[in-house]
Amino acid sequence: MIQDVVIDGDRVSFTIMLTTPACPLKGKMERDARNALADVKGIGQVSINWDSRVPSDQRIRQQVGTNFRNTIAISSGKGGVGKTTIAVNLAIELSRSGAMVGLLDADILGPNIPMMMGEDKMPPPRNRKMVPAEKFGVKFMSMAFLVKPDQPLVWRGPMLHTAIRQLLTDVDWGELDYLIIDLPPGTGDAQLSLAQSIPLSGAIIVTQPMQVAAADALRGLKMFEKLEVPIIGVIENMSGEFFGEGGGEELALQQGVEYLGSIPLDAQVRIGGDSGEPIVVINPASPAGQAFAEITPLVAARVSVITLSLQSKMIPIQMVG
Ligand SMILES: Nc1ncnc2c1ncn2[C@@H]1O[C@H](COP(=O)(O)OP(=O)(O)OP(=O)(O)O)[C@@H](O)[C@H]1O
Ligand SMILES: [Mg+2]
Residues 155 and 76 in one domain: yes
292 alpha carbon, closest ligand: 1
Give pLDDT, residue 126.
Answer: 93
- 141 and 23 share a domain? no
- Residue 134 falls inside a structural domain: yes
Q: Which atom of ligand 1 lies at the shortest distance from residue 85's CA? A: 18
- CB of residue 209 inside a 6 A radius of ligand 1: no
| Ligand 1 nearest-atom number relative to CA 79 | 25
Residues 37 and 183 occupy one common structural domain: no
CATH code of the domain in which 90 resides? 3.40.50.300
Q: Which of 52, 72, 90 is the last residue of a domain?
A: 52
Interval between CA 60 and ligand 1 midpoint (Å)? 29
CB 64 within 8 A of CB 169: yes
pLDDT of residue 319: 47
Instruction: Answer whether residue 255 is part of any domain.
Output: yes
Helix (H) / strand (E) element for 47: namely strand 46-52
Is the domain of 250 the same as that of 144? yes
Closest CA to 144 of 132, 161, 156, 129: 132
Chain segment 21-46, per-residue pLDDT in tens? 999 999 999 999 999 999 899 999 99
Cα 72 to Cα 212: distance, rounded to the nearest angstrom: 25
Are residue 193 and residue 234 in the same domain, yes or no? Answer: yes
Q: Is residue 319 part of a domain?
A: no
CATH number at residue 10: 3.30.300.130
Q: Are residues 125 and 258 in the same domain?
A: yes
33 plus 63 within the same structural domain = no
Nearest residue (CA) to ligand 1, atom 18: 82
pLDDT value at residue 77: 84
Which parts of the chain register pLDDT below 50?
Answer: 317-321
Residues with CB under 5 A from ligand 2 (ion): 83-84, 112
Q: Is 106 found in the same domain as 65?
A: yes
Pocket test for ligand 1, best of 112, 205, 236, 270 (most atoms within 8 A of CB): 270
For residue 157, the model assigns a pLDDT of 67
Query: How far away, in angstroms, is 208 Cα from ligand 1 center?
Result: 11
78 lines ligand 1 (CB under 6 A): no
> How many angstroms does the Cα of residue 86 sit away from the middle of ligand 1?
8
320 in any annotated domain: no
In a domain? residue 247: yes
What is the domain count for the chain?
2
Domain presence at residue 318: no
Which ligand is nearest the CA of 279, by number?
A: 1
CA–CA gap between residue 284 and residue 2 (Å, rounded)? 32
- Which atom of ligand 1 lies closest to the CA of 86? 18
Tell me if 214 CB under 6 Å of ligand 1. Answer: no
Give the pLDDT score at 320: 46
Instruction: Please tell me if the CB atom of residue 57 comes closer than 6 angstroms to any atom of ligand 1.
Output: no
Whether residue 317 is contained in a domain is answered as no
pTM metric for this prediction: 0.92
The answer to the question of residue 280 being in a domain is yes
Nearest CA to ligand 1 atom 6: 270
**Could you list the residue range(s) of the whole structural domain that residue 45 is in?**
2-52
In Å, what is the CA distance from 302 to each residue of 24, 42, 71?
10, 38, 13
| Cα 11 to the center of its chain, rounded Å | 39
The answer on 140 and 209 residing in a single domain is yes
Between CA 253 and CA 236 the distance in angstroms is: 13
Same domain, 116 and 201: yes
Do 134 and 219 lie in one domain? The reply is yes
Per DSSP, the residues of 131-182 read: --EEETTEEEE-GGGTS-TT------HHHHHHHHHHHHHSB----EEEEEEE
Q: Are residues 86 and 152 in the same domain?
A: yes
